[in-house]
Structure 1
Amino acid sequence: MSSMWNQLLRWPNWLWRRGRRENGGDLAPTEQVASPASGDAGSGRSDAGAEQCGASRGSSHLVEEMIRLGRAPLLLRPQIAANLSPEEHAEALRSMEDQMALVPEGEVLMLPTLSSIDECGAPPVLQVEAIFLDRHPVTNREFQAFVDAGGYEQMPLWDESIWAALLEFVDSTGQPGPAGWRDGCYPAERGDHPVVGVSWYEASAYARWVGKRLPSGPEWVKAASWPVATPGGKPCQRRFPWGETMERDKTRL
């Protein structure tokens, strides 16, 4: 890690008190985060967490803490996994498999609406590689760990294009965090609620911190619609993973 990165990582906490969020949105991680089945996080900057982990990779306590915080995918990166004991490696793999589900590779139709499938003579068909996708939305409690660990100050986790605006990503009291929080903390008794009031950039930084990334549009369609191959070759796209009708017993509405 270069001296420039080290200097940026030392930004003092008080700088964040000056900012205000102009356009807070309820974006992903209320969607789920994904990491490819290959283990490649899809971005060079996402290795920042792995570098930090690698600095102390001999500590079993660190491994346990990483797993507790949902950062097992970082431990399974080749440069880290090679230094784990067989027991630690198995525990990290078990943790990731508990948190994530495999979405197999396949084709998806990328159209504005499902009703436009029959209206389009040559619908765009894209091939999606296999990925692991989180089984559940990111919760307030999980995002709190990112905030408490100084995630808003770890510049390698953020897209360089957004650095100048990072001071704007603050809660209602001017502390770094989602828009609806106060004093850097989520509302009481809502630890297991999906985190909201974050931008795409905040969601992406969190995903990198845990060793993952956000799903692409086609990947999200593949997981949500679960297209089925047909004899004609064009995938049959469903409205829901289980079929065409809403089944409320499969939701948490």
Structure 2
Amino acid sequence: MSERTEVSFDAALMMALRADAQKELDELPTPAQLKERYPDTSRWDARLQAALHKRRPMLKRVLVAALTLVILTLGALAVSADFRKTVYTMIQKFLPIEMQLTYQVDGEPLEQLPNGYSDYYVPDGFERDCEQEFESAENFLHVYSSKGSGKGYTVRCSIIQPGQQSSFDNEHTTYENVKVGDADATLGTSVEKNGDTVYILSWEQRGISNTIMGNISQDEIARIAENIF
């Protein structure tokens, strides 16, 4: 059973940064290993203490400047798609739990999807299941299946709004960074109990969140994505 956690964007960022730092610390040599490699460091200790004594005011200014830069960066970029993608990548890489990430959107979100915005490529043998789908001015979910094959996929597109959530299941899914046209995207891969490989492709573009999920080939997933506009 996977652990499920709901956190804010800032909390998720801090968790990811802490996990990243811990990973780096875990890769450092232990005190015993350092002592074995460098048995006599007395001269280093003396030089280090002298350097810290001389440079303490400068070090303090550097730390203040670094913290100020972090605060300014968070304030300026916490709502940008590129920064969200960086945080997603860190979470996917270092936090092996199921998580929902909530973020805010800078500026005014779209009021509705662009006129005619839809998916325009359907693989051979697949039919749209109108009974399971929904559509509105702000979002849609299209469901497709291939009779007798057990294959199917969904396409979901929605305008990005404040408070929107993104979910990650690192316990059962492996993520990698890919491209959909010029947009950065995340491709998740998992295996169902019956052995089928399931892909989930997600990306943001022009204020719209797009997701394709199904147990069809990765090439077909990519082709569907390229024909959403």
Instruction: State the TM bucket, normalised to the shorter chain.
Output: under 0.3
TM-score by length of 2: 0.25
Q: Compare relative contact order (CA 8 Å, sep 6+) and give the higher one, 1 or 2.
A: 1
Structure whose residues are more often strand by fraction = 2
- Which structure has the greater CA radius of gyration? 2
TM-score by length of 1: 0.23
